[in-house]
């Protein structure tokens, strides 16, 4: 019995020991698991703290990079090209032809290349088509977002009722100007719903067939409605929106006034500029039509990869116009008369005054921009259509052997004699190049204006290649005929271009104005 009790006790102790060992192992495993979990969580906390610290450091550095304001000197604008024309144009006298023989005109060496402005001192590659995706197209989702914006403005935009919704949180005042104040307002714009507004402006740009300058004008129209009487706020807004649209831009300030700075593919004459190592000339642009003259100012620099901009883009303003603006019609009628080979012609035309008003806002650029800009719709419908019909029945006369020669002479006589001549100094008080529509609108025109219109008509109606030819004190054109024709000519890019002077009254193709004979010419290529 005693032995049985001892055995039972031993078994009990053995079972208790086994159960205790099992519990101990379980507790040990649980404790190790808790320790590993706490260790892992602690490691995560440490890593998170490190990341946060790195982010704070990065943010601090980034903020430091975005808050660089340097006192910079700006340079006076490039003087506008001046053509000292006579008060009265020369008229060709067949009985007193001063030409001895037909000559090849001497052109400058650079005439072997296209006459086009480029970014000066710039090494950056610029692709203006690479950033369209920055601004979303107005689809149903964007349309709903636009309708949810609480503020709206309505304004007459060249004859069209322009209605735009925007976020009221974009509103601010620039009652004082400082680095901190400008940064504060930009942060306000950053936090707003600015993209739907940008989408609406982009859509209107497409509707009106506007180029980069038109886009700037639309943005500034919004600025004037959103910040009336606050020009500094308008400038900061213009800078912000251009940057968000992918354009290179920055601001500077002097004497409590903010100015917009932006590079351009073309030379903007008369505009004060800051020379940038990366982007060439950064022009001081007053989108309200002023011409700021800044001697020195504090300029905002952003040293990240995008350069002097707050946006993601690398676009440079391009003032070339491949399409005529498409504004609401406000047409003015004009009757043009001229004679050719003993027959009188009358040409009723129409010009859209809204297009003329837009051209009044345009900066002074080189002649190639004017030569390459198409005529607007009413001018195409009236002038070009009528002239095309008139030249269809022309037959070669005298020593001319092809219809295209006769057609070019016909268009020459039209431009030479249908428009009264007057110098820019007499009509505008200073040098001013005119777009083709403006030649039709204003009462008078001079040599470069007529060259602009004539070159467009020849390309559009006859289908021949035309370049401009600039002399000291005179402008003309040259046409590449499909066969060799007699007359004064230039060679350009391996082709022969025959002189056609729209201001040398009654002169046919191939007749160079005697006043510029022997002078070196420069080729102007609109392409």
Give the helix/strand (H/E) hosting 332.
strand 331-340
Using CA of residue 188, residue 190, residue 195, residue 200, what is the dihedral sign? positive
Strand partners, 336: 347
What is the reported pLDDT for 57? Answer: 39
462 DSSP assignment: I
What is the reported pLDDT for 56? Answer: 42
State the Cα–Cα distance between residues 202 and 136, nearest whole angstrom.
Answer: 9
Question: Would you call 182 helix, strand, or coil by DSSP?
Answer: helix
Strand partners, 43: none
Name the E strands within 244-295: 250-254, 257-263, 273-276, 280-285
Q: Which two tokens stand for residue 119?
A: 């970014």
Strand partners, 273: 75, 283
What is the reported pLDDT for 128? Answer: 55
What is the reported pLDDT for 185? Answer: 94
pLDDT tens, residue order, the chain (527 aa): 444 444 444 444 454 444 455 665 766 676 677 666 666 666 565 555 545 444 443 444 444 445 688 989 889 888 888 777 777 787 876 655 544 445 676 666 544 443 333 333 343 445 555 445 567 677 767 776 777 888 899 999 999 999 999 999 999 999 899 999 999 999 999 999 999 999 999 999 999 999 999 999 999 999 999 999 999 999 999 999 999 999 999 999 999 999 999 999 999 999 999 998 878 899 999 998 888 889 899 999 875 544 455 555 689 999 999 999 999 999 999 999 999 999 999 999 999 999 999 999 999 999 999 999 999 999 999 999 999 999 988 887 766 678 899 999 999 999 999 999 998 889 998 889 999 999 999 999 999 999 999 999 999 999 999 999 999 889 999 999 999 999 999 999 989 999 999 999 999 999 999 988 888 889 999 98
What is the reported pLDDT for 396? Answer: 77
Looking up tokens 């002023």 gives 290
Q: DSSP letters along 297-327, please?
A: EEEEE--STT-S-SSS--B-B----SS---P
Question: Would you call 445 helix, strand, or coil by DSSP?
Answer: strand
State the Cα–Cα distance between residues 55 and 48, nearest whole angstrom.
Answer: 10
CB 455 within 8 A of CB 394: no
Count of residues for the chain? 527
What is the reported pLDDT for 312? Answer: 53
State the Cα–Cα distance between residues 233 and 219, nearest whole angstrom.
Answer: 13
CB 391 within 8 A of CB 405: no
State the Cα–Cα distance between residues 6 and 104, nearest whole angstrom.
Answer: 135
CB 215 within 8 A of CB 261: no
What is the reported pLDDT for 322? Answer: 94
């Amino acid at each position: 019995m005693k032995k049985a009790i001892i055995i039972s006790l031993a078994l009990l102790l053995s079972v208790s020991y086994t159960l205790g060992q099992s519990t101990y192992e379980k507790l040990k495993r649980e404790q190790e698991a808790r320790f590993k979990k706490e260790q892992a969580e602690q490691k995560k906390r440490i890593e998170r703290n490190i990341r946060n610290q790195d982010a704070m450091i990065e943010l601090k550095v980034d903020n430091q990079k975005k808050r660089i304001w340097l006192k910079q000197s700006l340079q006076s604008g490039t003087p506008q090209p001046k053509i000292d024309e006579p008060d009265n144009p020369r008229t060709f006298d067949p009985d007193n032809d001063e030409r001895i023989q037909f000559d090849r005109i001497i052109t400058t060496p650079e005439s072997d290349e296209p006459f086009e402005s480029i970014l000066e001192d710039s090494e950056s590659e610029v692709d203006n088509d690479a950033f369209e995706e920055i601004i979303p197209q107005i689809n149903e989702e964007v349309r709903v977002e636009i309708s949810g914006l609480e503020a709206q403005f309505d304004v007459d935009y060249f004859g069209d009722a322009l209605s735009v919704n925007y976020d009221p949180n974009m509103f601010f005042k620039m009652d004082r100007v400082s680095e901190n104040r400008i940064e504060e307002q930009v942060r306000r714009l950053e936090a707003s719903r600015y993209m739907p507004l940008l989408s609406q402006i982009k859509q209107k740009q497409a509707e009106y067939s506007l180029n980069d300058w038109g886009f700037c004008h639309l943005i500034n129209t919004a600025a004037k409605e959103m910040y009336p009487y606050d020009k500094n706020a308008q400038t900061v807004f213009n800078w912000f929106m251009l940057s968000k649209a992918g354009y290179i831009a920055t601001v500077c300030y002097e004497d409590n006034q903010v100015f917009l700075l932006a590079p351009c593919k073309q030379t903007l004459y008369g505009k004060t500029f800051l020379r940038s190592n990366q982007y060439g000339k950064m022009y001081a642009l007053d989108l309200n039509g002023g011409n700021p003259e800044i001697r020195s100012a504090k300029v905002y620099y952003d040293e990240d990869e995008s350069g002097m901009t707050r946006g993601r883009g690398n676009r440079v303003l391009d003032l070339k116009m491949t399409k005529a603006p498409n504004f609401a019609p406000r047409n003015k009628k004009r009757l043009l008369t001229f004679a050719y080979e003993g027959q009188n012609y009358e040409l009723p035309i129409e010009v859209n005054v809204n297009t003329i008003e837009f051209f009044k806002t345009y900066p002074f650029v080189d002649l190639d921009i004017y030569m390459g800009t198409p005529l607007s719709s009413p001018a195409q419908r009236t002038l070009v259509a009528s002239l095309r019909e008139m030249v269809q029945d022309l037959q070669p006369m005298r020593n001319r052997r092809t219809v295209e020669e006769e057609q070019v002479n016909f268009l020459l006589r039209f431009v030479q004699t249908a428009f009264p001549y007057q110098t820019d100094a007499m009509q505008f008080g200073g040098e001013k190049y005119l777009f083709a529509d403006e030649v039709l609108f204003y009462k008078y025109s001079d040599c470069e204006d007529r060259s602009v219109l004539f070159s467009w008509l020849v390309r559009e109606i006859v289908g021949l290649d035309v370049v401009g030819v600039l002399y000291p004190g005179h402008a003309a054109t040259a046409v590449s005929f499909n066969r060799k024709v007699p007359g004064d000519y230039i060679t350009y890019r391996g082709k022969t271009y025959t002189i056609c002077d729209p201001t040398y009254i009654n002169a046919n193709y191939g007749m160079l104005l005697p006043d510029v004979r022997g002078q070196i010419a420069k080729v102007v290529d609109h392409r």
